[in-house]
Chains A and B, each alone.
Chain A
Amino acid sequence: MEKIIDVQHLSFGYDEETLTIDNISFSIQKGTYTTILGHNGSGKSTIAKLLMGLLEKKSGDIIIGGIPLTEETLNQVRSQIGIVFQNPDNQFIGATVRDDIAFGLENNCVDPSLMDDIIEEYAKKVNMYEFLDHEPTKLSGGQKQRVAIAGILAMSPSIIILDEATSMLDPKGKKEINALVHQLNKDKNMTIVSITHDIEEAALSDYVILLSDGHIVDEGKPEDVLMKKEEIESLALDIPFALKVTQGLQQMGVSIADQIDREKLVKELCQLRLKK
């Protein structure tokens, strides 16, 4: 496996006294789907901005695709990463949805004769095709998020960072976008870093990094990290629904193993019922 993001001893503070990110190290493998999970104010979004070079680190190293992030390599690093922020109002440029998606492509010097096809392809993927000639600022919150996501996906960066990028979508929209991102992760081997506090989304990822007050509290596969009830609850997160059920049943004396996957839990419960 190849490390596509490598962060070593990274520290950062918005002012002189406090460290928002306090000496953290982690690496992300190419082609994986990683979630960074943490409560509000844990430093999740700050990490995203540091990776993009939008904030200047205090100390430590950030290496993206083998290139150390410095003032000189800023553009090289940024060309590999697409980021979708929580509030899409912060990233609209174009007067229409079409122009907005085109903006990123133009910056990447995509052949103008190919541009229309690419724009339409991604607008369709996020279900915003009918809105191509609408003004982005007049769309609803969820529609704006879809446009912002299409604009980033169209550039096909090797790394996509989603910073609470589906927080305003309805559950179906969220599912569609998550499925699309998972598909790009598999088909195009894109590396996905999703910043969220949705534990059910984290349960479906390859790797979880648990963040609190600028420190990494735990990291690993979701089935290991998310099983730790006390740890998760102490971080103001909610434990997965399935785990609540299995732990409640254990207290009643039912012999059932901890589980974070609801579908698997339904199967197990049905087998238990038949065996009784």
Chain B
Amino acid sequence: MSITFKEVEHIYAPDTPFAYHALKGVNLDIKKGSMTALIGHTGSGKSTLIQHINALLLPTSGEVKIEDILITATNKPSSLKPLRKKAGLVFQFPEYQLFEETILKDIIFGPKNFGVSEEEAIKIAKDVIQLVGLDESYLERSPFDLSGGQKRRIAIAGILAMNPEVLILDEPTAGLDPQGAKEMLQLFKKVNEEGKTVILVSHDMNQVLEYCDDVVVMNHGQVERHVPVEELFKETEYLTSLSIDLPIITSFILELNKNGFHIDPSIKDMDVLIQEIGGQLHE
């Protein structure tokens, strides 16, 4: 499912002292089935951009097209259901969206709203709870008795239960421990490999390098780059100008190369790097 932005502008609270021009002339075409990272520093417009994808925000001008659904300033689709079913948006701290008495009820809320029978929805809930790394015994528990990381998984399970074609995640691993973050990213990768488009907003360049195909760079409300991940990390000067850190592995290689080593900076894998350093020490 294709996602296209054409000359999209977004101004918050226009004609007030708080007016804020968050998106400026955004043109973007996100490939179907890709795992695309959306990066840029705080306040660059990333969250504003993704909220256009399921019409939580309407463009002030320009147009957003999600497959055959057109969204413009005046053209809010008559029913948002088909769009919201296609594009599942997971906000920062999605655990604050949990509201039901039991985890089961929370997960089936979405599918039932989209007309899935209760029986079918329960079946789906049993599947997705395992997908997010918890077992069925959790379904009867209250979501509020869980730890922050577990609540996050439940909230994501609720979105996966709606089987969206595009999964948009805003900083999904913020606050998770490294093991939890890794499991979460592997889950998104799996969802992506099953054919869904995944858009990942992240500040962690290590994640971007390891898991994503393409990367979109936002700066001051504009899209400045939309390239394969490896391409972006070659542009060290550009990234420095945006105060975006290189992935640890890349910056480590560049430091070594400054001091006489000759290692390919596009290496992503720790084991390959160690072999390479070891090799150059043994030579």
Contact = CB atoms under 8 A, between A and B. Distances in A.
Interface of A: 38-41, 45, 86-87, 134-135, 138-143, 164, 167-173, 197, 199, 236-238, 241, 244-245, 248-249, 252-254, 262, 266, 269-270, 272-274, 276
B42 A173 contact: yes
Contacts of A170: 41-42, 203, 243-244
B281 A41 contact: no
Contacts of B179: 39, 236-238
Contacts of B41: 142, 170, 172-173
B180 A248 contact: no
Pairs A-B, 4 closest by C-beta atoms: A40-B149, A236-B179, A142-B42, A248-B274
A66 B213 CA distance: 55
B21 to A, nearest CB: 14
Nearest to B46: A140
A140 B43 contact: yes
Nearest to A265: B252
Contacts of A134: 18
Contact of B176 (A40, A87, A249, A269): A40
Given A142-B42, A142-B43, A172 B244 contact: yes
B171 A141 contact: yes
A197 B177 contact: yes
B147 A249 contact: no
B115 interface: no
Contact of B281 (A140, A197, A236, A254): A254
B248 interface: yes
A168 B174 contact: yes
Given A199-B178, A248-B271, A269 B277 contact: yes
Interface string B142-166: 0000011110000000000000000
A5 B260 CA distance: 48
Nearest to B183: A236
A273 B243 contact: no
A199 B12 CA distance: 38
A141 B244 CA distance: 17
B257 to A, nearest CB: 10
Given A141-B92, A141-B174, 19 more contacts: A40-B147, A41-B149, A87-B96, A140-B47, A143-B42, A168-B42, A168-B92, A170-B203, A171-B205, A172-B244, A172-B245, A238-B178, A241-B248, A244-B274, A245-B277, A262-B252, A269-B259, A273-B259, A274-B260
A197 B176 CA distance: 8
B274 A245 contact: yes
A141 B177 contact: no
A259 to B, nearest CB: 12
Contacts of B195: none
A252 B204 CA distance: 30
B56 interface: no
A257 to B, nearest CB: 14
Nearest to B174: A167
Contacts of B277: 245, 249, 269
B238 interface: no
Nearest to A133: B17
Interface in B227-255: 243-245, 248-249, 252, 255
A134 B18 CA distance: 7
B93 interface: yes
B260 A86 contact: no
A252 B283 contact: no
Contacts of B177: 38-40, 197, 236-237
A129 B232 CA distance: 31
Contact of A273 (B43, B150, B273, B281): B281
B148 A40 contact: yes
A276 B261 CA distance: 13
Nearest to A249: B278
B256 interface: yes
B280 interface: yes
Contacts of B244: 170-172
A205 to B, nearest CB: 17
A170 B207 CA distance: 13
A238 to B, nearest CB: 4
B180 A39 contact: yes
